[in-house]
Structure 1
Amino acid sequence: MSAPVAVTIGPRPEPVHTIAVYAFAGMAPFELGVVVEVFGLARPELSGLLAAPWYDVRVCADRPGEPLEAVGGFAVTPRHGLDELAAADTVMVVGVPNAFSGEVSPGLVEALRTAHQRGARIVSICSGAFALAAAGLLDGLEATTHWRYAALLQQRHPLVRVNPDVLYVDNGSVLTSAGSAAGIDLCLHLVRQDHGAKVANTVARRFVVPPHRDGGQAQFIEAAVRPVDETDDGVGRSMRWALDHLAEPLTVPALARVARMSDRSYLRHFTARNGTSPMRWVITQRIAASLPLLEAPEGTVEEIAAAVGFESAATFRHHFGRTMRTSPTAYRRTFGRTAA
């Protein structure tokens, strides 16, 4: 008898998080594109930042391999079926064919229930909430959808607590977002949950999203940092300087001096360029800078407030609550990393 052969087995690779997104005939391509852009794009800028593997995106349909006509005169041919959607780690429904008619694929409803029962994270964008509601996954929960459909969703599914005033609602394993661009906010929120604020900010920076979205904000929404372009105009120069001096007292006169403008001219040019006032922009950047500090185990809230330039912890908590709809302590409890 021959001697047994020794086989060396390397470390088992960590499983990749699979994201399945549902496609259908007549879909608007924006929401599908958002999911693919956030989760499916190669991201060399994240090299060295990821503690876990990135995502594997699979576009799924009732009949894989068949072209689906999309709004705009082109077709999408999904490679994967509903069995793979039901088996994914995160399932995303970016719409339904017609919210007003109540049409929802029975196969999709079944796949959503199967995925939810096995513990998958279920996510909707825009009218996709109707599919989640049809599967019974929103009963007794707060949810949102596009404002145009909010009253209809409430009427058709009275067990759902529809909130039309937020960008998204996070119920843990079931998440819903408002229409179109709110899907970006929710996708970045998922990245932040899975990989932390620094990675989410890096993705947002490449996505070139606005620095702050005023209005209804869901809990834990982060104000993504807008990159400051490299043009040497006065406003851009002052913004780059401010980002390097967030811990210092920053005032409009100080920023105007860096820009070599009068205070009045600086206010006018800054607001025209950024759609917000200089001090509101500074507050947004300070809050964004505080997020990775809150995720780290070191430093008290008071120390972090001072490090990013707030005059007191009370002021920090006030502005943090207005922007994030939660407190710094609650944010740290949810997203903080324990000391090694």
Structure 2
Amino acid sequence: MSATDVLATLADGAVHSGADLARHQGLSRTAIWKQVATLEKLGIKVTRVRGQGYQIEGGLDLLDEQRIRDAIDTDASTWLHDLQIHQSIDSTNAELRRQTPFGRRASVCLAESQSAGRGRRGRSWVSPFASSIYLSVGWQFRGGAEVLEGLSLAIGVAVGEALGELGVDSIALKWPNDIYLDGKKLAGILVEMSGDFSGPCDVVVGIGINVQLPDGAAEGIEQPWADLRDSGQGAFTRSVLVGKLLSHLLPALATYEEHGFAPWRERWLAMDAFAGRPVIVDNNGRRLSGTAAGVDARGALLLSTGAGVQSIYGGEVSLRLQEAAQ
């Protein structure tokens, strides 16, 4: 019996005796104890109920490959090449980067936890076990990197619309790669590229979504945050959520390859979190103040200033409300 088998049994939240676990798998109770210790090293809280056995209080919503596949729309599934689920990994983006080059369909990597999850600008991404979605999609674009300027925005629209179909309200997008729920960060997007600038180009799209962060896990998050369950909007399994995300993401990548960001612009503007609000942009050490005026057809941020409307492109750029900077 592996630690994975023990985890699958304890995930129901019930108390399971060491004797029963050992008997069902033909192992010693000492071997079961060692497997439980392995789970605890992953950050899983396993309670030892005196005289009764082991329990994961409240249970765990583990990812299930078949349930994910069942939740993917039939048309979208034609774009799926392979689906990997890891119990623990350094990062899903890093794992897919090790597997380049990609083919003409998507490679998908998921993990229950990450030891080195990253967000944009090299920031760490808090990744506790079975508490969020850690998802990466690998895709090869025939065109070069220059056509991908608005990709993270199109992905944001796809994620926002997937959440909307699951009944999640009050979703908004912050340029260039954050997803907000009720004004707080719910999810982030990280796009990484490799290959020839003029094409073909291998792209890894990483997405992290807070589902139900455990107590204390958010101490490393340096901004107001939200998760689905505590917001009362997560009445679905993580597997269903992943299936719905892929139902939107895979066609989005195929569409983006053909048409770029332009078809996504109006939908992005409809979810713009900062539209018409005073903002500050830090652009490679240069600070600009103005009013957020949407994005152009290439995905550049439009900033209305006293000198006119300026176009701000991605890179080492941060955007925040002026009121939050005071």
Of the two structures, which has the highest relative contact order with CA contacts closer than 8 Å and spacing of 6 or more? 2
TM-score (norm 2): 0.26
Name whichever structure is richer in strand by fraction.
Answer: 2
